[in-house]
Amino acid sequence: MTPARSGPPTRPLRPFRPTPDTRLYCPTPTHDAALAGLRDAFAAGESVALLDGDAGLGKTVTVLKFLEGLEAGVPRLFLPSARFARPAELLQSILFDADLPYQNLSEHELRLAVTDLLLKRLPSGATTVLVLDEAQTLSPELLEELRLLGNLGTHSARALFVVLVAWPTLRERLTKPEFHAFGQRLGARFALEALSEEESEELLLAQLTLSGDRKHRSLDAEALSLAVAAGRGVPRLLNQLAAGALAVASSAGATVADAEAMMAAMAQLGLVAEDGGDELPMQTVPFDAPKRAAPAAESRAAKRRKAA
């Protein structure tokens, strides 16, 4: 895996960030394949694309990287949550993100305003890109609204390219009869997969390199091996483990996180008993899950310094 940046930034970034950051994007095979697929679908004039995968696999950072790579003249809208109760709420969000009036309008007026926004951009050849995250929550009514907006355009250009970012449950729902019309419109589908052990290790090391922090803080071989085993190929969980281990090491005055620091991070996430006993059932823990206090554990490096 080759880091996406040509060199580390002058000022180190925080590695293993809890929120998506394209500056730390690492081109694993599954992410690069999805990214290339989105670019091809947009270039081919598709109206809707689906990017799905289980929680924590990196869907959001992949689609943000796609948006970042578009030409400067391409208008883009990003809605971080697709939890809309009615089509009017979706239309309002589009207008709000485009800095256009959205209040005190009927649903029909909202639809006309969004249509006008999209069609006005077509003479210059600008297809608007609309990304909806958490799209597994969309109802058949909302998907139908998107399908109709996706029909806007001419024989040579689409007015709108919609990217749905969702859990795999949406792909399953689209097989049902009530989603038939939208499923027919969906011509591009891409799925992210869990990383292999080798890819997981490369991801952690590449993020340290991209952050510019690898010379100052790192994970030793044992810590890296533990993180890869516990992370199960899920980038979010791998990041949580690495960030936690570095925090434990730093609190003990060490710059390198060792196996004990990683075990402490695993305990914080509920992946191993805090007393070092039997491992608990491993499961992906979301970033907003409550964490227990860090166990009182010193890294081996800190203990060696005290002994000296």
Do residue 186 and residue 205 come from a single domain? Answer: no
Nearest-Å Rg of the Cα atoms of the chain is 23
Note whether residue 9 is domain-resident.
Answer: no
Burial class (CB in 10 A: 0-12, 13-18, 19+), 85: exposed
Residue 39, number of CB atoms within 10 A of its CB: 13
- What pLDDT is recorded for position 98? 92
What is residue 188's three-state secondary structure? strand
Domain count for the chain, please give it: 2
Instruction: Kindly give the parts of the chain with pLDDT less than 70.
Output: 1-12, 213-216, 273-308
Domain residues for 235?
197-307
Token pair of 121 as six digits: 């951009």
What is the rounded distance in angstroms from the CA atom of residue 91 to the CA atom of residue 114? 7
Cα→Cα distances 240→4, 53, 132, 176, 198, Å: 21, 19, 25, 37, 18
Model confidence pLDDT, tens digit, residues 51-86: 999 999 999 999 999 999 999 889 999 999 999 999
Residues near 197 by Cβ (< 8 Å), separated by ≥ 6? 228, 229, 233
- What pLDDT is recorded for position 302? 45
Do residue 58 and residue 121 come from a single domain? Answer: yes
Note whether residue 86 is domain-resident.
Answer: yes
Single out the residue in 131, 161, 191 at which a domain terminates: 191
Note whether residue 276 is domain-resident.
Answer: yes
Do residue 141 and residue 271 come from a single domain? Answer: no
Burial class (CB in 10 A: 0-12, 13-18, 19+), 256: middle
CA–chain centroid gap for 136, Å, is 15
276, 308, 262, 271: which is closest to 289 by C-alpha?
A: 271
User: In this structure, what CATH number is given to the domain that contains residue 107?
Assistant: 3.40.50.300
Do residue 144 and residue 266 come from a single domain? Answer: no
Model confidence pLDDT, tens digit, residues 224-246: 999 999 999 999 999 999 999 99
Sign, CA torsion 293/296/297/303: positive
Do residue 185 and residue 203 come from a single domain? Answer: no
- What pLDDT is recorded for position 213? 66
* 178 contacts 142 by C-beta, under 8 angstroms: no
197, containing H or E segment: helix 197-211
Do residue 281 and residue 187 come from a single domain? Answer: no
Whose tokens are 């085993």? That residue is 229
End-to-end CA distance of the chain: 39
Do residue 161 and residue 265 come from a single domain? Answer: no
What is the rounded distance in angstroms from the CA atom of residue 285 to the CA atom of residue 290? 9
Do residue 208 and residue 157 come from a single domain? Answer: no
Do residue 172 and residue 226 come from a single domain? Answer: no
